Amino acid sequence: MRALLTQNRDFRRLFLAQLITNGADWFLMVPVLALLTDLTGGGFWGGVVLAVDTGVVALLLPYAGTVADRVDRKRMMIVANLAACVAVCGMFFVRGHWAGPLAAVAIAVLASAKAFFGPAANSALPNLVQPNELSAAMAVAGSTWGTMTVVGSSLGGVLASLVSPYVCFGAVAILLATSAALSWGIHQPTQVAVATADRSDAWPAIREAMAYLRRRPRLVSLVTVKAAVGVGNGLLVAFPLLALHYGVGAMGVGLMYAVRGLGSLLGPFVLRRVLNRTEWLLPGLSISMACYGVAYLGVAAVDWFPLALLGIFVAHAAGGGNWVMSAYAIQRSVPDELRGRIGATDTMIAMIAVTASQFVAGLLVDSVDTRMLVAGCALTTLAYAAGWRFATRRIARGDLATA
């Protein structure tokens, strides 16, 4: 893994661009959630902002994935980061009586830009490494989200407490510009070929990807597995209120998100052996889903903040492993000319689940006991995990190689 970062210049630049973009995302989000809780006195608008963030991404991903297969992915990453940089400026207007709606609009614009960066970066990665390096590259790249959730959430929570959320917004704009500069320095081609036919009409390309999925049940199982964690993700809406319950404030919100990121960072490395054992993959995915639900049931039951942090860490170690295991299997199975669309579909399904969960949790967060809400989300994940395993138990072990 170290050789990838030290010897492969283009992979290193892509890794750092993803690292910074993901860090900027959480460096922004934690201060926004803390700010909205302070300005509105409740958790409703925080839930709306989280749902808007994931919902806009989910809606745009099919088109963004198609664009990633049809235009230069390097250019797409640069434009997406610069557009996000401009969108962040809208966060400086989140003040006063209209703070909630203004934050939702600004996050919607930012999420629109973010929706195009992810498919471009993810589908470019296999073209920057050798085939025998893909497993390690996926584990390293998969760690970017977890790493920067730790760093971004921690720093965002600390700065929001010590200085001002608006200082964080300015820092995010600088970080996104830096990510665009790193992407500009990638020299290797980011795709095998750029399609030129029918660029103006994305829908036939999307239908082609859907037809490819329908013929491959094993691949369908892989693109639906991330939704298990997604349907329970509404519990993130409760983080600011849990922090109030424990008396730890904005810094506590940052700590909870940081521990969440640390689990997501370490989980893929702990479960990496499963990536190379086809017969372990589906059982491993089922176990990881169940661990997420059980861990959050524990969080709902405890009344000591450090123990709650431990439960959050375990839950997201399982969730992070789940994400990378399924993403690696998809990357290995899908040809380059479809990789952007299939990868975007995979993320879209997860994001739809996250959006629905966060929207429902946002409606309930001010009227339902916070820990009951967390327990309900955890039980929803467990129910999905059981249903997914029942539905996929008959898929032959040997299908993955030809999925």
State phi, psi for 98 to the nearest 5 degrees: -95, 20
* pLDDT cut 90: percent of the chain above it: 16
Q: How many domains, the chain?
A: 1
pLDDT given at position 403? 44
Burial 281-291 (b: 16+ CB within 10 A, else e): bbebbbbbbbb
In a domain, 207, yes or no: no
- State the pLDDT confidence band at 148, using cuts at 50, 70 and 90: low
Query: Tens digit of pLDDT for each residue in 108-141?
Result: 989 999 889 988 888 888 888 887 777 777 767 7
Q: Tell me which of 193 and 260 has the higher pLDDT.
A: 260
C-alpha dist (Å) from residue 2 to 6, 123, 310: 6, 22, 29
In a domain, 254, yes or no: yes
In a domain, 204, yes or no: no
- Measured distance CA(71)–CA(120) in Å, rounded: 9
Which residues have a Cβ under 8 Å from the Cβ of 41 and sit 6 or more positions away? none
In a domain, 180, yes or no: yes
pLDDT given at position 401? 42
Taking the mean position of all CA atoms in its chain, how far away is CA 348? 10
Full DSSP string of 191-204: SS----TTTT--HH
In a domain, 202, yes or no: no
Location of structure tokens 């994940």: 381
Q: Which domain holds residue 19?
A: 2-190+215-402
Whether the model pTM is above 0.75: no
In a domain, 200, yes or no: no
In a domain, 163, yes or no: yes
In a domain, 61, yes or no: yes
- Measured distance CA(277)–CA(275) in Å, rounded: 6
CATH of the domain at 273: 1.20.1250.20
